[in-house]
Amino acid sequence: IADPNPVTPNLLLMGRLDPSLPQTVYHETELLSRRRWRHSQVLADQFWTHFTKYYLPNLQTRGKWQRETDQVQPDMIVMIVDPQLPRALWPVGRITNVFPGVDGRIRTAE
């Protein structure tokens, strides 16, 4: 993979990988009202919910194994899914080592 930075909901919503808010001084007339800010948070939560409910499951195919599929390999970029963490805080990692099971298929990675 030439680009180690995957597409994330934060990148789509904020346009950058850094999840922190920009350090900008806004004039009072440019500040978002509380209602507009809350609405933007609801939209972000809805996006994250749809991302985790509909997009992420499509990344992990569960076929009948009628044909071989690509196995994970060292140096692959992966998202470590943890439903206990809030949105945009799931860590991204790189696989360094894989461990096959007794059937020869990759079952564990670090």
Reported as a single tens digit per residue, the pLDDT across 50-99 is 888 888 888 876 666 666 777 888 998 888 888 888 767 888 889 999 99
Per the structure, the count of domains in the chain is 1
Confidence check: pLDDT of 41 > 60:
yes
> 40 lies in a domain?
yes
Region of residue 64 (phi > 0: left; psi between -120 and 50: alpha; otherwise: beta): alpha
71: containing domain: 9-109
Average pLDDT, the chain: 77
> 84 lies in a domain?
yes
3-class DSSP assignment, residue 92: strand
> 31 lies in a domain?
yes
Nearest CA-CA partner of 17 in 77, 59, 61? 77
Give me the pLDDT at residue 94, please: 92
Q: Give the other-Cβ count within 10 Å of 35's Cβ.
A: 8
Q: What is this structure's pTM? A: 0.44
**Residue that is written with structure tokens 């990148």 in the block:** 11
How much of the chain, in percent, has pLDDT values that exceed 70? 70
Give me the pLDDT at residue 14, please: 66
